[in-house]
Structure 1
């Protein structure tokens, strides 16, 4: 809130200073308003802290927020009217020529609204005094009740044994290090996750007690006072209270007490981000003997980075079962009550999000409550529960109150995202921009300010990085929010606004209609859009989003969208929209238009040139976009323009790219290059000046039937900047395979070309031009005349492809030339190529780690020498080779092979020589007689997946897989049961999956003895499913398994 008010004050002052002559009578009210806002801003820090415990202040805060949003609307209206006059009067770019104040109707309307707002603000300003709000400087939000000590307060700590053992091991081996006397190990995690408890467990371990002397514990908190910490350490050693001494004698005293001793110090709950303060304290502590250690706990990643010398330990959440055990200890005083309330309790535990504080607090809160009250908690959000009794949010709220004021609104806004959702970094930054929560600061553009905010919230453990999504795909620029942190954000938003949006529901009847400013409203259909339109005059962000993967129901954006004149963000991504109304170009404040993945969209409105405030035009994967209007080049505020479509003599011209040198987008796609008339028009794009460009996609229409092609000269003229890393070319029909500037591409080259039209096609190779020797990845696709990798003119040239790491051939049926030596190649893919590939030359690729061969017609066997020299090969994937009868016999020479995948090879009869294998995946190889050499040889196998079998019983060979941890059986059409030996022999099994085995009816009794089994997934086994559900005939066999998933 404070940051939002500050932005309003700055906007008002700027408007008054720059356009005083245009405000005509309104300037005085604006000046008064700016002064009032500044006065109120001074007490917001006090109000922010007190609003959570004082209902009157909370209501005052909500009223202030509503009026502040009204001011924002007025300023928006003024800016929009100014822009409208400025850009709809050709040749005039000065507001003095067409003053807004000259419009008497508009001036009267603005003046009236300003007076009304001023009256409200006067009342709010008066109320602040009555509420006792002061302009005190920010103080500490910590109190003595939070102070920690070294004793473990819990009778039994669950779920931290492994982490404790790891830390103990690390600390005790530090005595062997020669490079430093003291090592620092940080423990990082969100509030309530158990950082202090884990540190206490380590501190009190008997091995630690024997290894370290002395052991010292200091609770640090937000106030990182080096003198106080030193005094606490001295008092702990001497067991007396130190008198008031200056810092220097205290430092000397502590060093005397610690010198030549191997000590352990725990600094609990550290918030300090000032490296200098830490270095001053650290210099005093570097007097101990080798092997001395410091353990620090913190919520902030930045603190850990400043202090650590050892790898940071990021504390993980507990499992639902571990949380249930903690909850049960606190909630139940008798067995009868547990049996009666267990089902409800397990649902409540899911609210804990793996945070032990929440599990214990909720359990204690419910201990003496009735069943009706348990049900009430089950149906409530944590942020609605009594704070004084649960203590969950107050503990987490310290992280919020410790945030810089400019980050608080950004954090609270994240409550609009559904719990558990993966949030894209770019999306949340755009929404912060749209809602005025961030702004440029003179040295940084607003997008950079947003990126810094995301980084800071991540460093403070409020955001969690997401490395992969549910499908295992990398998510480099995404994050998620822990469920309890999400509850914290919602509680803040509730306090400020009086309500928030539920996960998939539009809140259109909120008591405060200004909430449309704070929350994006999600709609799923055209009719629904029209119905809510009259209620959303202040809307900043409009997001069309389906409950599932796509917004299929939304096909049309009505012209009435222009009534939402405050819109700054429109997201129609993944919708089925075909055309945008031209009225969208009346949204003068629009900053972001996201049309990513609108694959039915074929044209943009003609008036796009009027969107002069547009910063981001997102068009990724708009595959059917065939027309763009002229004038895009006038949008000089653009930072993102992901795709352009050449319009030939009409529509968008490549020359319009020349003036767009502020683009920050690293990727640019240019479509329909066949419409470019000649080399001159292509040169006018000036791609060499696009310094941020890293990835360039150039597309010609491969289905064209023109008599003359100018592809070669156009491609030559589209020379990019030297920093280009990725080039993708498709539909190209030029006179030679590569342009002269191909050496510009330093990382990845993807080439899809109809080379029938290349002169000398029979001699086409992948090195007809001087490629960059630093090229890392090359993908050659749909090249029916490509012979191989090297042409005669460069044969033997040193350095060609010397750094290439990834090579892919797709649909190159005439590929026959031997592969050259590529000393850095890690991965080779050969897909949809002819059977006459020089397979034996693969043995030249001595650094190869992954080999994929798929969909090769007419190939019955590979030459034995193909696998020679591949001592580093770790993964081999053979798929869809219908005539393949056997793999090379010398598989045994692949001593590093860990993963083998064989798919859809119906004539394959056997696999041999796989002693080192760790993962084996077999799919639809119905003729395969047995597993490799009998499974007795597969002593290292930990993952086995078999998909597709006509067998009526599981092979006896499987019983010898004593090391297997993951077993996945799918599409066993005739399998009726698992063998009795299953549980007796597969003693290491942790995860079992049974999918689409329609005849499978029973599980072996021995599965009850599988204590290592952590998860069982049963899907599409219609006979087995009802028997395995609670109360079914098989339930007693599997009820001990922690993670059960049984689906139709």
Structure 2
């Protein structure tokens, strides 16, 4: 494998170029060689290696391998020359952070890119592979936590020593200042002659003017606990900071950024998240090297600069959710290198409409399209070209509330032309005003679609045939007040001749684990669930469906562990009553269902003893009653019936089930 190396006797070679599609030209022999290397050094289990080849190209595999080799050389204090220069530079950059410093993975990757440490055409993927390898080795950074819902990862810096030989050859100058006060920076003569990376634990606004004199400063970070001390940036602060590449002012109290920011022409990373800024200066157009602009949760932010379209190097624009922006700046479609765009707010003005997305085919991660009622026509929606954005994993389609849609006359056919690529994993539809959903939402080609939320689509009268989706794991249906019946169409598309299956062959919702129905206040009947349907369903929650009078068969839900029925005031009984409930059930919660509670209580004890562990117990608690000693003893592991919402107590069959319920309440 061709690598650039640290020779210590000559010049450094260029970093290796790993192309995004390099796996296309690889052959079995190359893969066998790499696999042999992983097994020899016991870097990962064979199962994990197979996963790497499934989700990574050869470029990422090589990067992972290189970093493992780098760490091995570091611990043995030998063989420095066989390690790629790129790995050493990334390692040295990580050493600039103080011990126990916490940072999210996306930010750390963007910081590595800001120093031009990764020269490949897909630096984000290569950097992510490096971080995975560093975490595996555990001497430099550790994985603090991972949010599987969002895909975000947080890391903690462990703190380590870099050999002098490596520092001397690194393109990252190791001079750094980590201080409680800026005084050590201000008196350090090195700061005037070498590139400087500054991390301050305490900084007052009056000290910023002095820091602005250090023309060699490349990084300025303020630690999280002390950012509130900064409430403004001096007007001329950036006049001499031509070498500044990284500036993190997030969580400070600043309300504006001075126009002198235009002088920081080398700036590649700018984070103003959770500040009070209302606007950015138009001089931001001078930041032609800017790659990352973070504006997460800026509650007073009114608009992005008109010059945003000129930031043609921008790859990551994160707006978060808490801000007052009404539309995107005109011409944002010029930012064709964008890989992260957390939200696109559709406007009606020229240059602000949804067709600006046409050429942004590198967009990945999560994208929210909001104010979709402003889409002018079907041609505009089609030209947005969502179907070509194969890196998108999560998509939210959001309209404004129904009353406003009726007022302006929204064309509800627009959603049919917003079909995403089949690589999508998570779909959320909010306040859609049409009566039916497009056919693409339940198409069999969406083999990666795992999570769907449909929220407050009040005019919807027929649910899409989501049972056809082969990989759907979580489904939430909330405030769909137009739904009266859930029938066989929910399982499969009965109107499509090509989707006809024999009942003994078709399995609806083959991978679904969690199903939530909430505030579907006009739902009366849920029927037509087949005997082999929902084989993996573990959690079923039906809340505030006040007209629900008939429920589908639950007997064949062989994996069901948690069942909650809440405020289903007209539900007279469970299907076949309790005697035929699935034996996998561990937790049953019935709350504010007066007819159902009375019906179940008469045979609950017999059912528990015959179908489940005798340790389980069902009881009904009267409103306002205090739990006595005998009652408390029954709660050790039981199934609960409760009529009082305020006084209901939930006891579960094991601690895991209790946590299941707690996590659900926290998420609401």
Q: Give 2:430's aligned residue.
A: 730
Q: Give 1:544's aligned residue.
A: 249
Kindly state the Cα deviation for residue 596 of structure 1 after the two structures are TM-superposed.
2.9
Kindly state the Cα deviation for residue 694 of structure 1 after the two structures are TM-superposed.
2.8
Change (3 A) 1:647 1:818: closer
**Is it true that 1:488 corresponds to 2:182 in the alignment?**
no
Q: Give 1:119's aligned residue.
A: none
SS at match of 2:525: coil
**Is it true that 1:304 corresponds to 2:12 in the alignment?**
no
Contact kept, 8 Å, 1:541 with 1:570, in 2: the verdict is yes
Change (3 A) 1:942 1:649: closer
Contact kept, 8 Å, 1:884 with 1:907, in 2: the verdict is no
**Is it true that 1:445 corresponds to 2:122 in the alignment?**
yes
Residues 685-724 of structure 1 mapped to structure 2, 5 A cutoff: 685-702=384-401, 703-704=403-404, 706-707=406-407, 709-724=409-424
Contact kept, 8 Å, 1:682 with 1:718, in 2: the verdict is yes
Change (3 A) 1:432 1:841: same
CA distance in 2, matches of 1:400, 1:917: 59
Q: Give 1:846's aligned residue.
A: 558
Q: 1:594 aligns with which of 282, 294, 303?
A: 294
Change (3 A) 1:481 1:885: same
Change (3 A) 1:640 1:499: closer
Q: Give 1:631's aligned residue.
A: 331
Change (3 A) 1:774 1:276: closer
Residues 790-939 of structure 1 mapped to structure 2, 5 A cutoff: 790=487, 794=494, 798-819=506-527, 820-821=529-530, 822-824=533-535, 825-834=537-546, 836=548, 838=550, 841-854=553-566, 865-866=577-578, 868-876=580-588, 889=604, 890-892=607-609, 895=612, 917=637
CA distance in 1, matches of 2:12, 2:160: 23
Q: Give 1:478's aligned residue.
A: 153
Contact kept, 8 Å, 2:88 with 2:166, in 1: the verdict is no
Deviations 1:167-206, CA, capped at 9 Å, x for gaps: xxxxxxxxxxxxxxxxxxxxxxxxxxxxxxxxxxxxxxxx
CA distance in 1, matches of 2:361, 2:43: 36
**Is it true that 1:436 corresponds to 2:116 in the alignment?**
yes
Residues 369-388 of structure 1 mapped to structure 2, 5 A cutoff: none
Change (3 A) 1:526 1:451: same
Q: 2:478 aligns with which of 774, 781, 789?
A: 781
Deviations 1:863-883, CA, capped at 9 Å, x for gaps: 882574322234556678899
Q: Give 1:462's aligned residue.
A: 139
SS at match of 1:500: strand
SS at match of 1:732: coil
- Unmatched segments (≥5 aa) in structure 2: 14-30, 50-72, 198-216, 496-501, 660-668
Kindly state the Cα deviation for residue 436 of structure 1 after the two structures are TM-superposed.
2.3
Q: Give 2:450's aligned residue.
A: 747
Kindly state the Cα deviation for residue 647 of structure 1 after the two structures are TM-superposed.
1.2
Residues 993-1004 of structure 1 mapped to structure 2, 5 A cutoff: none
Give the stretch that moved more between structures: 666-675 or 416-425. 416-425
Kindly state the Cα deviation for residue 637 of structure 1 after the two structures are TM-superposed.
2.3
CA distance in 2, matches of 1:942, 1:802: 24
Q: Give 2:89's aligned residue.
A: 409
CA distance in 2, matches of 1:490, 1:898: 61
Change (3 A) 1:838 1:558: farther
Change (3 A) 1:605 1:534: closer
Deviations 1:113-148, CA, capped at 9 Å, x for gaps: xxxxxxxxxxxxxxxxxxxxxxxxxxxxxxxxxxxx
Deviations 1:508-545, CA, capped at 9 Å, x for gaps: 52532421455332355441465854564421111123
Residues 651-670 of structure 1 mapped to structure 2, 5 A cutoff: 651-663=351-363, 665-670=364-369
Q: 1:501 aligns with which of 168, 174, 178?
A: 178
Change (3 A) 1:504 1:445: farther
Kindly state the Cα deviation for residue 608 of structure 1 after the two structures are TM-superposed.
1.2
Kindly state the Cα deviation for residue 832 of structure 1 after the two structures are TM-superposed.
3.2
CA distance in 1, matches of 2:612, 2:100: 42
Which has a greater percent of helix? 1
Deviations 1:425-455, CA, capped at 9 Å, x for gaps: 2211110111222222xxx422233223223
SS at match of 1:583: helix
CA distance in 2, matches of 1:902, 1:573: 50
Larger radius of gyration: 1
Q: 1:561 aligns with which of 261, 269, 278?
A: 261
CA distance in 1, matches of 2:578, 2:96: 56
Kindly state the Cα deviation for residue 614 of structure 1 after the two structures are TM-superposed.
1.2
Give the stretch that moved more between structures: 604-613 or 779-788. 779-788
Change (3 A) 1:834 1:575: farther
Deviations 1:819-873, CA, capped at 9 Å, x for gaps: 5243322222223332635457444533213334456678899788257432223
Q: Give 2:273's aligned residue.
A: 573
Q: Give 2:25's aligned residue.
A: none
CA distance in 2, matches of 1:614, 1:519: 19
Give the stretch that moved more between structures: 510-519 or 803-812. 510-519
Normalised by the size of structure 1, how large is the TM-score?
0.45
CA distance in 1, matches of 2:620, 2:242: 57
Q: Give 1:673's aligned residue.
A: 372
Q: Give 1:1013's aligned residue.
A: none
Q: Give 2:348's aligned residue.
A: 648
**Is it true that 1:684 corresponds to 2:396 in the alignment?**
no
Change (3 A) 1:901 1:538: farther
Contact kept, 8 Å, 2:590 with 2:597, in 1: the verdict is no
Change (3 A) 1:930 1:637: closer
Q: Give 1:42's aligned residue.
A: 10
CA distance in 1, matches of 2:590, 2:83: 53
Kindly state the Cα deviation for residue 405 of structure 1 after the two structures are TM-superposed.
3.1
SS at match of 1:411: helix
Normalised by the size of structure 2, how large is the TM-score?
0.68
RMSD value, Cα: 5.1
CA distance in 1, matches of 2:454, 2:656: 39
Kindly state the Cα deviation for residue 636 of structure 1 after the two structures are TM-superposed.
2.3
Kindly state the Cα deviation for residue 567 of structure 1 after the two structures are TM-superposed.
0.6
Contact kept, 8 Å, 1:843 with 1:870, in 2: the verdict is yes
SS at match of 1:519: strand
Contact kept, 8 Å, 1:818 with 1:838, in 2: the verdict is yes
Contact kept, 8 Å, 2:92 with 2:167, in 1: the verdict is no
Contact kept, 8 Å, 2:237 with 2:260, in 1: the verdict is no
Kindly state the Cα deviation for residue 658 of structure 1 after the two structures are TM-superposed.
1.6
Kindly state the Cα deviation for residue 624 of structure 1 after the two structures are TM-superposed.
3.9
Contact kept, 8 Å, 1:669 with 1:697, in 2: the verdict is yes
Change (3 A) 1:590 1:903: farther
Contact kept, 8 Å, 1:903 with 1:925, in 2: the verdict is no
CA distance in 1, matches of 2:281, 2:181: 27
Change (3 A) 1:527 1:400: farther
CA distance in 2, matches of 1:852, 1:794: 30
Change (3 A) 1:614 1:43: closer
Q: Give 2:60's aligned residue.
A: none
CA distance in 2, matches of 1:601, 1:467: 31
Contact kept, 8 Å, 1:877 with 1:900, in 2: the verdict is no
Deviations 1:467-510, CA, capped at 9 Å, x for gaps: 747xx987855253464xx1436999999544432489797525
Residues 220-231 of structure 1 mapped to structure 2, 5 A cutoff: none
SS at match of 1:584: helix
CA distance in 2, matches of 1:894, 1:535: 77
Change (3 A) 1:905 1:445: farther
CA distance in 2, matches of 1:858, 1:400: 75
